[in-house]
């Protein structure tokens, strides 16, 4: 776990290291000692850059949440037929998950033991509700299948999308769009061949 690195740290560069360790060991399972070993500096040097463990968590989940909420403000999410907006938000959410993978991973694993964690859970719920409203509008248009409840469909859709953080690892480069396409095809078209 000793990943030496000899430039001086800033809160941001330290965050990169910390989030990686948080995701490997879990936030609660990570001690300041673990972080110091991974960063290659002493515990007390970490306290020079940030107030403590929780500040690192707050910075990380903030970045993830900013990325997700930004999607909801994009033109593709606010204009056009509701079902197309849902598809757009789904595709873009996949892209944000992949682009900000470590940060979103941490966000999605937050439990709620501290104030920061509860704030993160609250903002996640807010995001979910915004998307649920979109699906509701699409259902009202008759563009979504009527035999699955809207709230349930939202949860299943984003359960599928969010599960990316459990296995996706970045490689070459241009696979982001392909992945987003596959997710959208499966979520909206289903797994079976057309009968």
Partner DNA sequence: GTCTATATTACGATAGAC
Partner DNA sequence: GTCTATCGTAATATAGAC
For DNA, the binding residues (CB under 7 A) are 7-10, 30-34, 36, 40-45, 47-49, 51-54
Say which entry of DNA, a copy of itself, none residue 147 contacts (CB below 5 to 8 A, set by partner kind): a copy of itself
Minimum gap (Å) between residue 187 Cβ and a copy of itself: 6
* Contact stretch for a copy of itself (CB under 8 A) within 2-10, 62-70, 97-105, 176-184: 176-184
Query: Could you tell me the two tokens for 10?
Result: 């800033």
What's the Cα-to-Cα distance from 42 to each of 58, 69, 72, 166, 175, rounded to whole Å?
A: 21, 36, 41, 31, 38
Minimum gap (Å) between residue 5 Cβ and DNA: 9
Instruction: Decide: 134 and 89 in contact? Cβ < 8 Å.
Output: yes
Distance CA 84, CA 90 (A): 10
Say which entry of a copy of itself, DNA, none residue 83 contacts (CB below 5 to 8 A, set by partner kind): a copy of itself
Instruction: Decide: 168 and 98 in contact? Cβ < 8 Å.
Output: yes
Query: Applying CB under 8 A, does 185 fall inside the site for a copy of itself?
Result: yes
Query: Could you tell me the two tokens for 91?
Result: 């595709």
Say which entry of DNA, a copy of itself, none residue 78 contacts (CB below 5 to 8 A, set by partner kind): none
């Amino acid at each position: 776990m000793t990943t030496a690195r000899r430039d001086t740290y800033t809160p941001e560069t330290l965050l990169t290291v910390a989030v990686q360790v948080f995701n490997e060991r879990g936030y609660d399972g990570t001690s300041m000692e673990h972080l110091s070993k991974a960063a290659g500096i002493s515990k007390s040097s970490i306290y020079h850059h940030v107030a403590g463990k929780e500040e690192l968590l707050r910075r990380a989940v903030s970045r993830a949440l900013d990325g997700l909420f930004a999607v909801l403000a994009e033109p593709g999410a606010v204009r056009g037929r509701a079902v197309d907006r849902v598809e757009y938000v789904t595709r873009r959410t996949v892209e944000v998950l992949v682009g900000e993978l470590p940060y979103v991973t941490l966000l999605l694993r937050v439990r709620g033991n501290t104030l920061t964690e509860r704030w993160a859970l609250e903002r996640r719920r807010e995001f979910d509700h915004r998307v649920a409203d979109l699906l509701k509008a699409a259902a009202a248009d008759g563009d979504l299948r009527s035999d699955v409840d809207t709230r349930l469909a939202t949860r299943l859709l984003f359960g599928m999308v969010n599960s990316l953080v459990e296995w996706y690892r970045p490689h070459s480069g241009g696979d982001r769009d392909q992945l987003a396409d596959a997710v959208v095809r499966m979520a909206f078209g289903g797994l079976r061949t057309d009968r």
